[in-house]
Structure 1
Amino acid sequence: MSAAAVLVWLGMVIAISFIEAPLKFRAPGVTLPIGLGIGRLVFRALNIAEGLLAALALAGTLLAGIGGAALSALGLAVIVLVVQVAAVRPALSRRSDRVLAGETGPRSHAHLIYVALEVLKVAALATAGVLLLKP
C-alpha cells in the first residue's frame, strides 16, 4: 500500500509540475492570467491529493514497521510538501494576485524555490518508492 501511494504521488508530481505546468502557457490562446488561474486550481488540487497520499503512505509505512532509509526518504518528501504548501505557495499566490491585478515587476524567486523543492521531492519519492518495493 505504501509503495503504491508513493508511486502514484510521484507520477502526479511529474505529470503536473514538469509536464502540464510548463506546457499550458504554450497552448494557443492561453494568456498569462488564464494560465495563472488554471495553475492555482491545479496546484491546489494536486496539493490536496499529495496530502492524502502522504498520509496513506506514512500510515502504511509505520503500520508495516518499515523504517530506515525508506521512512527517511518518505519523511523528506512530506517535509518538502509541508514547506511548499505552508511557505512557498502563499508567496506564489501573493505574486499571482499582483499579476492578475495588472502589476508588472520582476519575476518571483519563490517560483524557482518551488521548482527546486519539486526536484528534491521527486528524488525523495523515487527513492522511497524503490525502497518500499524491496522485500
Structure 2
Amino acid sequence: MDSTSAAVAGAGTFLWLGMVLAISFLEAPLKFRAPGVTIPIGLGIGRRVFRALNLAEAVLAVVVIAAVATGSPSAGVVTPTAVAVAVLLIQLGVVRPRLNRRSDAVLAGEDPAEHRSRAHLYYVALEIVKVVALFWLGCAALA
C-alpha cells in the first residue's frame, strides 16, 4: 500500500480497535457492577452506548475500506478488512436486532432470568473475531 493509504488505514483501524476494546470489553461489563445500576438502567445505557459505538464503527469502516481500496492492497490487508467489515455487518444486521428485542422485553418487565438469550454470547464471540481482524489489519496496513 502507498504510505498515505497505509497511514489512514492504520489510524482508522487502531481507532476502531480501541473503541471496541474500551466499550465492549471494559465499559459494558463494568456498568452492571456499579452501585445502584439495575438491569433495566444498564440496558438503557448500553443501548445508547452501543448505538453510538456502532455508528462510529460504520464511519470508521467506510474510512478504512476507502483507504484500503485506494492503496493497492495485498491479500494480507484485504482479508482482515473483509473479515472486520463482515463481522460488523453481521452484528448490525443479525445479532443487534435480536439483542434489541430481548432488551425491549426486559425493559417491558420480563424477568431477565426467565428466557436466557444466546444473542449476547454471539455478539461477544463476534467482537473477539473483530478484535483479532482489526489488530491483524492494523499491523498489516502499517507493515
Q: Bin the TM-score by the shorter chain.
A: over 0.9
The answer on 1:40 being equivalent to 2:53 is: no
- Equivalent in the alignment of 1:25: 32
| Aligned CA-pair RMSD | 0.6
The Cα offsets for residues 58-105 of structure 1, whole Å up to 9 and x where unpaired, read as: 100110111311111011000000000000000000000000111122
1:28: how far off? 0.7
Q: Read off the aligned partner of 1:17 and give its amino acid letter.
A: S
Percent pairwise identity: 56
- Equivalent in the alignment of 1:61: 68
> Structure 2: where are the runs of 5+ without partners?
1-7
User: How does the TM-score come out when normalised to structure 1?
Assistant: 0.97
> Structure 1: where are the runs of 5+ without partners?
none
The Cα offsets for residues 31-62 of structure 1, whole Å up to 9 and x where unpaired, read as: 11110000000000000000000000010011
- Equivalent in the alignment of 2:5: none
Ranges of 4+ aligned residues in structure 1 off by more than 6 Å: none
Q: Following the alignment from structure 1 to structure 2, what is the Cα–Cα distance between the partners of residues 10 and 71?
A: 17
Match of 1:115 among 112, 124, 128: 124
